[in-house]
Amino acid sequence: MSDEAVREEDRELLSRAQDGDVSAFEALVDAHRDKVYGLALRMTRSEADAAEITQDTFLSAYQHLKDFRGDAAFGSWVHRIAANHALMRLRHRRVAQAAEQELQGPEFTERGSLADYPQTDWSRDAEEKALDAELGTAIQQASDRLPEGYREVFLLKDVEGLSYEQIAEATGDSIPAIKSRLHRARLALREAIDAFYNRDSREL
């Protein structure tokens, strides 16, 4: 089904749910629960927290159904609610956050050149090849190693597809700060993937 067809179906279900049709709301939950759960799991790295956040998200959505005017897609709206619930939970958990770790980026010469550190272009491979399980694990571990604030921004922008404005609203951070963290998170993850591909080529 195309994205537009999904949105149209959501609009239809939403309208019925707003008129009190519980089965229409359940159908919306069925359609979006995996994405909400995935977001919560990626952000909290805890299955128990992810399950609770998913419950809280859909409960909030149900309680505010009448307020939702359908300006955005239902999926985006629920995503933002889930992101807020996940961030709240992380804040509670983050009592004594470790000092910001140094993120690994590319190596340059003294003059700021990559010339002595040639890059491997694995971008085409990444697009065409089905994701290797080992690479998937390497990415998961690299994502887990990111400092919390960087991981949040990366997940919300690059994995969940929220806009900078939505992330700023959800996190309370400024857009320049969000962009700076996103860039550094991407550099660190790119570095981890690069290490994986280079390790592979060395083994051949």
- Contact footprint for another protein (CB under 8 A): 22, 25-26, 29, 33-34, 37-38, 41-42, 47, 50-51, 54-55, 58-59, 62-63, 105-106, 108, 111-115, 117-124, 126-127, 131, 135-136, 139-140, 143, 154-155, 157-159, 179, 182-183, 186-187, 189-190, 193-194
> Minimum Å distance from CB 108 to another protein?
5
Q: Please, which residue, 71 or 107, has the CB nearer to another protein? A: 107
> Minimum Å distance from CB 95 to another protein?
26
> Minimum Å distance from CB 135 to another protein?
7
Q: Please, which residue, 8 or 158, has the CB nearer to another protein? A: 158
Q: C-alpha distances in angstroms, 145 versus 66, 102, 188?
A: 40, 11, 10
3-state SS class at 46: coil
* Residues 143 and 189 sit within 8 Å (Cβ to Cβ): yes
DSSP state of 163: -
| Torsion, CA 169, CA 171, CA 152, CA 104, rounded to 10 | 110
> Minimum Å distance from CB 102 to another protein?
16
Q: C-alpha distances in angstroms, 182 versus 27, 55, 151, 154, 155?
A: 34, 28, 8, 5, 9
> Minimum Å distance from CB 182 to another protein?
7
In angstroms, rounded to a whole number, what is the distance separating the alpha carbons of residues 202 and 101? 29
DSSP state of 158: I
